[in-house]
Amino acid sequence: MTMIKATNITWHEGHVTRETREKLLNQKGALLWFTGLSGSGKSTIAYTLEHALVQRGHLAYVLDGDNIRHGLNKNLGFSAEDRTENIRRIGEVGKLFVDTGVVTMTSFISPYRADRDGARAIMGEGNFFEIFCDTPIEVCEQRDPKGLYKKARAGQLKGFTGIDDPYEAPLKPEMVIDNSKCTPQEAAVRLIELLEKSGKIPALKG
Amino acid sequence: MTMIKATNITWHEGHVTRETREKLLNQKGALLWFTGLSGSGKSTIAYTLEHALVQRGHLAYVLDGDNIRHGLNKNLGFSAEDRTENIRRIGEVGKLFVDTGVVTMTSFISPYRADRDGARAIMGEGNFFEIFCDTPIEVCEQRDPKGLYKKARAGQLKGFTGIDDPYEAPLKPEMVIDNSKCTPQEAAVRLIELLEKSGKIPALKG
């Protein structure tokens, strides 16, 4: 360590630790892995939570199809192999975000248990929260926000999760949310409580 | 928007913007792309800068071989195709970090101009800073921190940049650093000035 008087900085050459960044941010890195059928509320709840966290002064970020499928994973298709690689890369990016101290949400159908378990395995204990959006498929299909169920039913879309491709429900999710029985706001309140109880963000006083 | 009285949160369902996160962090996202030969000082300077930024209360993160090659890019080798994909993925992850508002450093030899220009192209104007560590190869080889030059000279390592694989120097780097003529600390001071002048971090008062 040397001191440069002009700037009063103590110099180091090793990595800054995750703990140092977390102290700076007054929060701890966490990965909330949303999984569930298309239309089950994953992204809506994730964005609602993101806004609530930022309003409380916390740094949060959502990884979803918009910023992943058109960027990092734009060279992947929808074969079984590519789907697995898609989820693997998202898990690895999530790990980097958590190391940075960010409360990170991933919003992908992620239908296969083995792929999600792979993401959980690389994260380390206490960093991974599997959030199962268990909204009945009838409700999801009625919403059909992207018109995908309609196409799948018409046979214009093959291998669509819940129609002609399986969704493997989580066995031990950290939280189950049925978005047909609660609003995104109510779900976000529960998730904030989960983050508080896990020591990821401090509880509000008063 | 609805108000939940218990928590006094205003609810939104869209993305939180980059600007909102940057305001929260009191900094702007930036990608400092370090490039240069093995032993040219890239990682040492990047870590030194990371520490200095965190001491000033800024969130910074270094992407390097340690956290990328063993994670996100562990399924890539060293063929020309894989090297390009390696740099492409790093650029895409850098873009996500910058969108989060993080001052991000990438530390990779990244010898090919087209690959670096690809990373620059996806970042958008004003977000990408190419930092060319132009330390003479004789100095790099003398340092040989990982013993790689020795192996390359002995023919035990093929396609090593600077020995039997080309390094294409940047044509218009945002900064050139010759680490044989300055300490990592002096380099970090120059980089902090660059970040201040670019409006990425506020200048210190007094």
Would you name the residues of B annotated as active-site residues?
110
Indicate the pLDDT class of residue A37, thresholds 50, 70 and 90.
very high
Enclosing H/E stretch for A175: strand A175-177
The answer, yes or no, to whether residue A2 has pLDDT greater than 70, is no
In chain B, % of residues over pLDDT 70: 93
Indicate the pLDDT class of residue B206, thresholds 50, 70 and 90.
low
**Can you read off the two tokens belonging to residue A11?**
């110099």
Q: Could you say which of A38, A40, A107, A110 is catalytic?
A: A110
> Which positions in chain A touch B12 (Cβ < 8 Å)?
47-48, 51
Q: Measure A164 CA to nearest chain B CA, in Å.
A: 30
ipTM given for this complex: 0.93
Q: From the list B9, B61, B101, which residue is nearest A52 (CB)?
A: B9
> Which positions in chain A touch B9 (Cβ < 8 Å)?
51-52, 55-56
The average pLDDT across B57-75 equals 94
| pLDDT tens readout for residues A73-124 | 999 988 889 999 999 999 999 999 999 999 999 999 999 999 999 999 999 8
Please choose, from the candidates A74, A91, A79, the residue with its C-alpha nearest in 3D space to the C-alpha of residue A35.
Answer: A91
Q: Measure A136 CA to nearest chain B CA, in Å.
A: 21
The per-residue pLDDT of chain B, averaged, comes to 92
Is B24 close to A99, i.e. CB distance below 8 A? no
Indicate the pLDDT class of residue B27, thresholds 50, 70 and 90.
very high
Please choose, from the candidates B2, B8, B18, the residue with its C-alpha nearest in 3D space to the C-alpha of residue A60.
Answer: B18
> Distance between CA A52 and CA B61 in Å, rounded?
25
- Which residues on neighbouring strands pair with residue B161, listed in sequence order? B165
Which residue in the block uniquely carries the two structure tokens 């058109």?
Answer: A70
Q: Measure A48 CA to nearest chain B CA, in Å.
A: 5
**Can you read off the two tokens belonging to residue A135?**
């909204």
Q: How many CB atoms lie within 10 A of CB B14?
A: 10
* Low-confidence winner among A57-61, A144-148, B40-44 (lowest mean pLDDT): A144-148
The average pLDDT across B107-127 equals 95
Domain boundaries, chain B: 18-135+167-197
The answer, yes or no, to whether residue B13 has pLDDT greater than 80, is no
> Which positions in chain B touch A45 (Cβ < 8 Å)?
none
Q: What pLDDT was estimated at residue A8?
A: 53
| pLDDT tens readout for residues B152-169 | 999 999 889 999 999 999
**Can you read off the two tokens belonging to residue B190?**
């120059």
Please choose, from the candidates A131, A80, A138, A134, the residue with its C-alpha nearest in 3D space to the C-alpha of residue A107.
Answer: A131
Pairing relationship of beta strands A30-36 and B30-36 according to DSSP bridges:
unpaired
> Distance between CA B17 and CA B47 in Å, rounded?
28
The CATH T-level fold of domain B18-135+167-197 is: Rossmann fold (3.40.50)
Is B12 close to A51, i.e. CB distance below 8 A? yes
> Distance between CA B8 and CA B2 in Å, rounded?
10
The answer, yes or no, to whether residue B4 has pLDDT greater than 80, is no
> Distance between CA A48 and CA A57 in Å, rounded?
15
CATH of domain A17-197: 3.40.50.300
Q: From residue B101, how far is each of A176, B23, B60 by CA, in Å? A: 31, 9, 9
**CB contact at 8 A, A135 and A179:** yes
Is A13 close to B93, i.e. CB distance below 8 A? no
**Can you read off the two tokens belonging to residue B100?**
């989060």
**CB contact at 8 A, A130 and A33:** yes
> Which positions in chain B touch A62 (Cβ < 8 Å)?
15
Q: From the list A2, A59, A63, which residue is nearest B24 (CB)?
A: A59
Residue B177 sits at φ, ψ, to 5 deg, of -125, 120
